[in-house]
Structure 1
């Protein structure tokens, strides 16, 4: 019997790359995202290629929608072997320019979205005494990132969630793995939030990220998908992707210098 993977944020970017790779490896794929048209198109693409796929439009911020997602997946396939939490949002700007709604957008999507899927699926994995939970984290959950405070806050929380769950669940047959990439050349800019001291500052911040994404050496969604597959195949608890590794090492060896460089790089019109 084929194993089944449930992927959030599956309609594009990293999530889509993960779905394509796991389907190639023989997995049934359960695809979730808010964008139904892209989601159904991906499911049809997989089915046309001879793979089994179930698309369930889901906003992971809503626990009832997440419970429906899990219920439909279990009704279709009987079990879920791997959960990949990937849905997320990028938010950038000076800390004092974010509204409380901005904060909720970051925390509710990047953290609560993960908690909702884990809460809905964990009883099933505990009952079957087997399973794997993969949380797509970020270098921003390992290294403090100025001017990305809500984003970095959510990702540090995901790191803590991942590590504490792994400590508790590993004796029960469940592996919890964190994936830590640097910035990835994907479609995240469609949903990204940019704030600034004024409209020009916010626009400059968006252009700054777009310039970074244009650099050829920036990792691609397929690089993260391969890291996820490596983590699942070998039941790893942590996989650092590509350029995130030297960033982590540099911050550990020269933390003050790294933070100074980051502040100078990202402050734009902010004073200090």
Structure 2
């Protein structure tokens, strides 16, 4: 799958503010960057730094009154689609050191509060079978509803309200998976077919010795997703973090699937 990505951000900045952007698709073995450009209008130098766990790239900018950024890319995704239930499990004691952190509760994914629920509702399941059951449960239990959550909504809030947007679906699946002994992390991504078109949030679960992409909203297949960055929860994967105050003027995200012949 080849994806064409076109992003335009235009924000008003109150005074001066440092801004951290995470909008560039990550170069990884299963997704190759064929074309890419990022233009930021700023009077100050732009500084790039590695993303969480070295995946993707963050970009520091300085906004003065206004911050405008345009990102365009063509990404070729080469990732097989395999049913989650086909994957085995890895006991926590055998996890790699850098994966262990994704078993722990985090600010928006309070996995320790879901352990009883997972044990009671999904008895006898582990590994891919549990991952598939949890993803299906989240997709069926929640209503996708714009405006039903905020930047402060946690997995517990979403579990109680039974509604949310992609960020909330990802938080809840990640929290449930960790509660069931499966390392899980949140992923900021681009995918075609997201409605409404926007930055997308999905999850990755550690199964059979590797990270496996899952979209609990059901809007995207793992073979259609281009990762931007990863992290414990929304704290780490926000597309823009403003150390000050900002006002949205214009924001558009367009992702299209391309045929190989149209390169």
TM-score category (smaller protein) = under 0.3
Which protein, 1 or 2, shows the higher relative CO under an 8 Å CA cutoff with sep ≥ 6? 2
The structure with the largest strand share of the pair is 2
The structure with the largest helix share of the pair is 1
TM (norm. structure 2) is 0.25
